Amino acid sequence: MILHSIKVENWRCILGERSAGPFSEGINILHAPNATGKSTLFEALRCALMDSHSAKGKEVERLRPWGRRLSPVVEVEFTSGGVRYRVRKGFLDSALSLLERMENGAYQPVAKGTDADTMTRALFTKDAPKKGMSRPEHWGILQVLWAPQGMLEVGELSGNLLDDIRTSITAQVVDDRARAVEELLGRRSETWFTPTGKEKSAGPLATLRKEIEDAEGRLEALRMERGEAEASSRRVRALSEREEELRGEVARMEEDRKRLEITRAVATEPKLLMLDETMAGLNPTETKEAMELCLKLRGQGITLIVVEHVMEAIMPISDKVIVLDSGKKIAEGAPCDIVKDEAVIKAYLGDDYNAKC
């Protein structure tokens, strides 16, 4: 097989379309930082050549881009047996499979759907998974020529492949030095594998695989916790927004209550009316309305005694101002005189206050 190019779309960490190739004869190296999609490209290549486009299950679901409902697609151009092919496969929601062959300088369709899966796989192996995704034992000769990340062990070889490899190697061992190397490799192999080529259940690889499975379990648990935390965060934000809305409603109700109390008091036709901090907490528009109400009441002949901290609001409507500091009177007089009083400026207005009358 000669690989010419690969194009991947919406596959694990790859969002959108990413391609590699055309490749040249010889050694081609994919160089990029970690977690940028190098291993993902090789996984997509294996799926294009070996897997059924209609495969289902959690393993296929993991091919989706993280946190998105997009469907993975892969397209591979390659030559096998002197013939150039192009296979395109989509999985999950965009399930499709199309095998094309180069004829007279252009790709022409050869098979679609399950037939395309079968014909593509048959170019490399006769073994096929009964369901789900393929495993190394289904890859034919590729299972010893292909070493995906985290799968350097050979494991169990399918069909007659193991016998063929042993026969080929034995035929080349012709001297004592080569036999010594073979024996050394055999002893090393016994550390990791059984005589039939299976991985030892208590070997280092099994231990490492168990650690990886445990780590993946913890990672999945952390992802679930993160999802729950994000959901809680959204609920907190929603409650905070509702709290602000309720605060606004309470403020408006408080203003309505103040207006109602003033209206009720005015209805008794008083000669003197005392207003205690009626402008506290009002916005500029509401403060202006309260000032206009005070002027209107004064115009009706009602004497007003206003207890207030909002100096900017009370000065324009007052005839006489009495200023207290810690319960002690520090000034009394007309508004224009009060704003110039040094004791008032120090206690309430600040040294940089510029009186305007």
The pLDDT value recorded for residue 19 is 87
Written in H, E and C, the secondary structure of the chain is CEEEEEEEEEECCEEEEEEECCCCCCCCCCCCCCCCCHHHHHHHHHHHHHCCCCCCCHHHHCCCCCCCCCCCEEEEEEEECCEEEEEEEECHHHCEEEEEEEECCEEEEEEEHHHHHHHHHHCCCCCCCCCCCCCHHHCCCHHHHCCCCCCCCCCCCCCCHHHHHHHHHHHHCCCHHHHHHHHHHHHHHHHHECCCCCECCCCHHHHHHHHHHHHHHHHHHHHHHHHHHHHHHHHHHHHHHHHHHHHHHHHHHHHHHHHHHHHHHHHCCCCEEEEECCCCCCCHHHHHHHHHHHHHHHHCCCEEEEECCCHHHHHHHCCCEEEEECCEEEEEECHHHHCCCHHHHHHHHCCCCCCCC
Q: Are 308 and 277 in contact (CB under 8 A)?
A: yes
Report the C-alpha gap between 201 and 188 in whole angstroms: 16
The pLDDT value recorded for residue 222 is 93
Max mean pLDDT range (13-22, 88-97, 167-176, 193-202): 88-97
**pLDDT above 90: percentage of residues in the chain:** 22
Q: Are 165 and 189 in contact (CB under 8 A)?
A: no
Backbone angles phi, psi at 186, to 5 degrees: -65, -45
The pLDDT value recorded for residue 168 is 55
97, pLDDT greater than 60: yes
Torsion of CA 252, 256, 261, 266, to 10 degrees: 130
Q: Are 70 and 64 in contact (CB under 8 A)?
A: yes
Average pLDDT over residues 214-239: 92
pLDDT confidence of 284, banded at 50, 70, 90?
A: confident
Report the C-alpha gap between 265 and 163 in whole angstroms: 107
Candidates 3.40.50.720, 3.40.50.300, 3.20.20.70, 3.40.50.620; correct CATH number of 1-149?
Answer: 3.40.50.300
HSE of 306 in the Cβ direction (CA atoms, 13 Å)? 27
Residue spans of the domains in the chain: they are 1-149, 153-200, 239-349
**pLDDT above 70: percentage of residues in the chain:** 84
pLDDT tens-digit profile of 299-321?
A: 888 888 888 777 777 788 888 88
Average pLDDT over residues 319-325: 87
The pLDDT value recorded for residue 21 is 83
Domain 1-149 shares a fold with domain 239-349: yes
The pLDDT value recorded for residue 347 is 82
Angle at 29 between CA 28 and CA 30, to 5 degrees: 125
pLDDT tens-digit profile of 234-282?
A: 999 999 999 999 988 887 887 778 778 877 877 888 888 888 877 777 7
Residue 119 tokens read as 């014909």
Q: Within a 10 A sphere around the Cβ of 311, how many other Cβ atoms? A: 16
CATH architecture type of domain 239-349: 3-Layer(aba) Sandwich (3.40)
In Å, how far are 115, 156, 320 from 141, measured between CA atoms? 22, 12, 103
Report the C-alpha gap between 129 and 106 in whole angstroms: 32
Average pLDDT over residues 323-348: 86
| Amino acid identity for residue 252 in this structure | R
353, pLDDT greater than 70: no
